[in-house]
């Protein structure tokens, strides 16, 4: 009898604990109105950040974390207008191409200074690019300079560099320099918005490694301190001359071990912005945070990609792949399994990018089981009648892979299973070595907001981002024609035509576009604005006066 | 005793070499390439990857890499991670944090665990004993992450007594909640262990003798009974110290503590060989030393145990 009694007491305790859990949430959203109050121009924003994987050098931030900090410290030549992807000049007065867009002239706004007081000149840019492109300096983004004449001298495929300067870069005067490209690229100015193209002060070249710990930039914020794995501080730079002067006093980037830890700090207003709501809180974060919940699209796409070197897909009729695409119920999966964190894809190009055309893929991405079954059956079927989708199990991919497989199996009868690899590294390894058995998960976040970035850089026969073995001569020809077009509008249009070609040939099955699911604290005035890469535009954030 | 300690210290050398070699090989055979992984979904740059690998010596055969690693280790150089930061620095940041957390947790574990156990052991079979049994069983059956989330939810999110996360890892008041959660499970085991040995030893001959001698009850319990009952507890707590230092990954994750567990976890995820090997090497040393210390403590607790 005693045993039974104790068991009851235990049960009672659990009920109490559950009740305590259940009454949580709710009252948080009733907090003060986020649009009321005055802005404090010296207020400090605290934001989530994981430890950057590399020193803070402009061409060394492959991952989003280092890049988030660098973007506040440096101001590049150009930037993109959020939402439209239109080009805006920042440090540049103008960036103009010659007739065939193979040589570009950059004029700088005069009188800019680095945070250490030294002037920003044409030389600051040219030296920076030459250094970053040099293979010896181990910058992870060094290949971004590959368009420039003389790149292979500083970055040879084998052996030591022949020179430490790219011959395509010429300083004309203090505020002017020219860039010669190996072939015409009409949208080259758009590429210049990326972090790697930042200028570097002379102090950098004396001690690049030390600089990576204590960067000196020319941007709206100046670097203050970096406590590893804990905190990076940047403060407003009073001498900043650019258009995007900071509306707050600075940013404290705080490190969190898990998304859960960050989320609970957001709820208690210990951090003002977090990267992503943890999966465990996705169902209730909108009630937890009310108006302060953030649900914004950004320019990234997830797809499943057939490995065209496999026997299965080598000689497949693209119509079969179209059939597979139509067998996936994107609407339902994004709503249920993915809990509204993505929106169904209707194009190879993500929205917010120049040249995105709503519904570009038409019926191919519409869920139509009958038509899907027919397309697959009439065009030879899937060899083996079985596909596998490779993904990395160290991230949250399993639920949607299973859902996609389920959808395909139910609507077409093609057997479909997930093929998990333990880590992202192992997943990449299999892709690089052409060992994918059937299909794999592919993801792409924009580098620059032009549709070519979502096509040529992924599906061009020789593109380094093309790991599926896809090759289409007609597409290659079209894209090189588009790159040589006389204007950016023309380029974008030609790439839109190329997209229709891809729709017929199906190098990949686009699934959905990404959304930021995040939140902001009660200390922030108004809603935080977002850039196209899903990161906040930090200089526009306003902090409430206390 | 001195000779015994010296012999044990000498035995550590082959164990040390063996474990480091094993870890080194294991990290090496992890699938995937950490340098390639920097590029993720984006286009990799084979020339740059090759250059970075050359710089870190990844292009050499694994045994040669190990030999170089050990050679540098003898010079006190743990190498550096892929971001170019010395592993020694990373460890100097993480170990003090974890050490503080461990000390706090062990203190909580010993005070509450031994206290509860002694209390229950002296009242074996009575209501207090049952109460402690139920309590410890409950604690043992709840996984640590559930405990962590519930504790944070109640004390931080709802009551607001404590910050939900550790902001400053040098503050003992902020470390209290995670240390408590970390200590809970072991505390329950310590209580059970203490209770059993207490109840058992109460009936031992030497206690009866002490009682017959007319010693005060306080001295019987505090000196004779406690000291003799602590041997299994010391063994348990000792292994726990090693476990806490190396494996508080879950608790550190929940409460945002940038300690050893977290460092190791991230290093394994990114296949950072030098960091993993460095941390594990230090952990191996720590655990070997703690084991030696426990064995020496036996002799202190029980004078009949002698080492020669």
Write the DSSP string, A267-312: HTTS-SEES---GGGTTTHHHHHGGGEEEEEEEEEEEEEE-TTSHH
Cβ-defined contact of A261 to B256 (cutoff 8 Å)? yes
Q: What is the pLDDT of residue A511?
A: 96
3-state DSSP call for residue A522?
A: coil
Nearest to B45 among A142, A230, A428 (CB): A142
> d(Cα B156, Cα B136) in Å, to the nearest integer?
24
Q: Which residue has the tokens 């426990």?
A: B294
CB count in 10 Å sphere of residue B302: 13
Q: A426 in contact with B at a CB cutoff of 8 Å?
A: yes
| β partners of residue A225 | A233
Cβ-defined contact of A13 to B33 (cutoff 8 Å)? no
Cβ-defined contact of A261 to B253 (cutoff 8 Å)? yes
Minimum Cα–Cα distance from A443: chain B residue: B41
Report the b/e string of A223-240 with b at 16+ CB within 10 A. beebebbbbbbbbbbeeb
DSSP state of A39: E
Q: What is the pLDDT of residue A32?
A: 62
B21, pLDDT greater than 50: yes
CB count in 10 Å sphere of residue A156: 13
Q: What is the pLDDT of residue A367?
A: 95
Minimum Cα–Cα distance from A426: chain B residue: B32
Cβ-defined contact of A428 to B37 (cutoff 8 Å)? yes
Q: What DSSP assignment string belongs to A372-429?
A: HHHHHHHTT--GGGEEEEEEETTSTTHHHHHHHHHHHHHHH--EEEEEEESSHHHHHH
Q: How confident is the model at residue B117 (pLDDT cuts 50, 70, 90)?
A: very high
Q: Mark residue A50 as left, alpha or beta (left: phi above 0; alpha: psi -120 to 50; beta: remaining).
A: beta
Nearest to A154 by CA among A124, A126, A187, A121: A126
Cβ-defined contact of A264 to B165 (cutoff 8 Å)? yes
Nearest to B130 among A2, A255, A424 (CB): A2
> d(Cα A400, Cα A281) in Å, to the nearest integer?
18
Our measurement of the distance from residue A118's CA atom to the centroid of its chain's CA atoms, rounded to an integer in Å, reads 32
Cβ-defined contact of B30 to A423 (cutoff 8 Å)? yes
Contact A62, B38 (CB under 8 A): yes
- Residue A445 belongs to what H/E stretch? strand A439-445
Mean pLDDT over each residue of chain B, to the nearest integer: 86
- Its sign, for the CA torsion A367, A371, A373, A378, is negative
> d(Cα B279, Cα B275) in Å, to the nearest integer?
6
Minimum Cα–Cα distance from A133: chain B residue: B48
> d(Cα A67, Cα A374) in Å, to the nearest integer?
47
- If you average pLDDT over each of A225-239, B38-52, B140-154, B266-280, which comes out highest? A225-239
pTM of this structure: 0.82
End-to-end C-alpha distance for chain B, whole angstroms: 6
Q: A35 in contact with B at a CB cutoff of 8 Å?
A: no
Angle at A182 between CA A355 and CA B54, to 5 degrees: 100
Q: In the 3-class helix/strand/coil scheme, how is B28-73 assigned residue by residue?
A: HHCCCCHHHHCCCCCCCCHHHHHHHHHHHCCCCCHHHHHHHHHHHH
B282, pLDDT greater than 70: yes
> d(Cα A64, Cα A144) in Å, to the nearest integer?
16
Asked casually if ipTM beats, i.e. exceeds, 0.85, the reply is: no
pLDDT per residue as tens, chain A (546 positions): 333 333 333 333 333 333 333 333 334 444 467 888 889 999 999 999 988 888 899 998 877 889 999 999 999 999 988 777 788 999 999 999 998 889 999 999 999 999 999 999 999 999 999 999 999 998 988 989 999 999 999 999 888 899 999 999 999 999 999 999 999 999 999 999 988 999 999 999 999 999 999 999 999 999 999 998 889 999 999 999 999 999 999 999 999 888 888 998 898 899 999 999 988 889 889 998 999 999 988 899 999 999 999 999 999 999 999 999 999 999 999 999 999 899 999 999 998 899 999 999 999 999 999 999 999 999 999 999 999 999 998 888 999 999 999 999 999 999 999 999 988 888 888 888 899 999 999 999 888 899 999 999 899 988 877 889 999 999 999 998 998 888 889 999 999 999 999 999 999 999 999 999 999 999 999 999 998 888 899 999 999 987
Chain B residues within 8 A of A135 when measuring between CB atoms: 47-48, 51
Chain A residues within 8 A of B157 when measuring between CB atoms: 24, 264, 267-268
Q: How confident is the model at residue B308 (pLDDT cuts 50, 70, 90)?
A: low
Nearest to B38 among A53, A229, A421 (CB): A53
């Amino acid at each position: 009898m005693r045993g039974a009694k104790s068991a009851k007491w235990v049960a009672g305790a659990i009920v109490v604990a559950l009740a305590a859990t259940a009454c949580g949430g709710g009252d948080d959203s009733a907090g003060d109105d986020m649009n009321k109050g005055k802005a404090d121009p010296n207020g400090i924003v605290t934001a989530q950040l994981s430890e950057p994987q590399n020193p803070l050098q402009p061409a060394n931030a492959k991952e989003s974390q280092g890049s988030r900090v660098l973007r506040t410290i440096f101001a590049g030549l150009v930037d993109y207008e959020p939402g439209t992807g239109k080009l805006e000049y920042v440090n540049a007065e103008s960036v103009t191409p010659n007739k065939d867009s193979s040589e570009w002239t950059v004029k700088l706004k005069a009188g800019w200074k680095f945070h250490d007081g030294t002037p920003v000149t044409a030389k600051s840019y040219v030296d920076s690019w030459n250094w970053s492109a040099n293979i010896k300096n181990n910058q992870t983004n060094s290949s971004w300079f590959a368009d420039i004449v003389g790149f292979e001298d500083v970055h040879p495929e084998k052996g030591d560099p022949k020179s430490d300067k790219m011959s395509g870069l010429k300083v004309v005067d203090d505020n002017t320099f020219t860039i010669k490209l190996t072939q015409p690229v009409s949208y080259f100015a758009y590429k210049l918005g990326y972090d790697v193209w930042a200028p570097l002060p002379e102090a950098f070249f004396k001690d690049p490694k030390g600089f990576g710990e204590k960067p000196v930039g020319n941007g709206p914020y100046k670097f203050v301190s970096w406590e590893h794995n804990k905190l990076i501080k940047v403060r407003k730079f009073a001498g900043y001359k650019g258009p995007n002067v900071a509306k707050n006093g600075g940013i404290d980037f705080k490190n969190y071990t898990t998304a859960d830890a960050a989320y609970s700090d957001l709820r208690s207003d210990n951090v003002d912005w977090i990267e992503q709501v943890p999966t465990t809180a996705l169902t209730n974060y909108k009630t937890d945070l009310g108006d302060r919940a953030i649900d914004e699209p950004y320019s990234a796409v997830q797809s499943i990609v057939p490995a065209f070197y496999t026997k299965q897909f080598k000689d497949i009729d693209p119509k079969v792949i179209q059939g597979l695409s139509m067998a996936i119920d994107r609407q339902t999966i994004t709503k249920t399994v993915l809990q509204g964190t993505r929106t169904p894809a209707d194009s190879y190009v993500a929205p917010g990018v120049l040249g995105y055309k709503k519904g570009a893929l038409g019926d191919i991405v519409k869920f139509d089981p009958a038509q899907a079954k027919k397309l697959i059956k009439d065009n030879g079927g899937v060899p083996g009648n079985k596909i596998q989708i490779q993904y990395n199990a160290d991230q949250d991919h399993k639920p949607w892979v299973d859902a996609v497989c389920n959808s395909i199996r139910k609507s077409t009868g093609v057997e479909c299973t997930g093929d998990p690899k333990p880590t992202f590294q192992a997943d990449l390894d299999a892709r690089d070595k052409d060992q994918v058995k059937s299909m794999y998960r592919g993801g792409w976040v924009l580098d620059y907001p032009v549709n070519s970035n979502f096509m040529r850089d992924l599906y061009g026969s020789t593109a380094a981002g093309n790991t599926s073995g896809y090759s289409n001569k007609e597409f290659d020809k079209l894209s090189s024609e588009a790159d040589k077009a006389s204007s950016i509008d023309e380029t974008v249009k030609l790439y839109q035509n190329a997209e229709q070609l891809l729709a017929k040939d199906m190098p990949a099955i686009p699934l959905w576009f990404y959304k930021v699911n995040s939140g902001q604290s009660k200390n922030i005035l108004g809603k935080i604005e977002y850039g196209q890469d899903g990161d906040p535009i930090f200089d526009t954030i306003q902090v409430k006066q206390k | 005793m001195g000779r015994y300690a010296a012999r044990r210290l000498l035995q550590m050398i082959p164990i040390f070499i063996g474990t480091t070699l094993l870890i080194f090989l294991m990290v090496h055979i992890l699938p995937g390439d950490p340098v390639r992984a920097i590029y993720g979904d984006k286009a990799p740059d084979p020339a740059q990857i090759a250059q970075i690998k050359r710089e870190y010596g990844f292009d050499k055969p694994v045994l040669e890499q190990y030999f170089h690693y050990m050679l540098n280790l003898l010079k006190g150089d743990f190498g550096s991670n892929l971001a170019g930061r010395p592993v020694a620095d990373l460890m100097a940041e993480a170990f003090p944090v974890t050490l503080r957390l461990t000390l706090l947790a062990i203190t909580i574990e010993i005070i509450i665990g031994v206290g509860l156990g002694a209390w229950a052991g002296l009242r074996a079979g009575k209501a207090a004993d049952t109460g402690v049994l139920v309590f410890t069983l409950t604690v043992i059956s709840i996984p640590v992450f559930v405990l962590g989330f519930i504790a944070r939810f109640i004390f931080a999110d709802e009551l607001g007594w404590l910050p939900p996360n550790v902001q400053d890892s040098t503050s003992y008041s902020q470390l209290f909640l995670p240390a408590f959660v970390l200590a809970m499970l072991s505390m329950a085991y310590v209580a059970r262990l203490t209770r059993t040995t207490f109840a058992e030893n109460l009936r031992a001959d030497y206690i009866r003798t002490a009682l017959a001698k007319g010693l005060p009850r306080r001295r019987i319990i505090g000196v004779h009974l406690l000291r003799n009952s602590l041997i299994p507890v010391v063994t348990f707590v000792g292994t726990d110290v090693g476990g806490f230092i190396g494996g508080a990954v879950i608790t550190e994750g929940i409460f945002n503590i940038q300690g050893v567990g977290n460092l190791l976890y991230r290093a394994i995820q990114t296949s950072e060989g030098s960091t993993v090997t460095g941390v594990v090497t230090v952990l191996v040393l720590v655990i070997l030393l703690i084991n030696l210390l426990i064995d020496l403590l036996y002799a202190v607790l029980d004078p009949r145990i002698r080492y020669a």
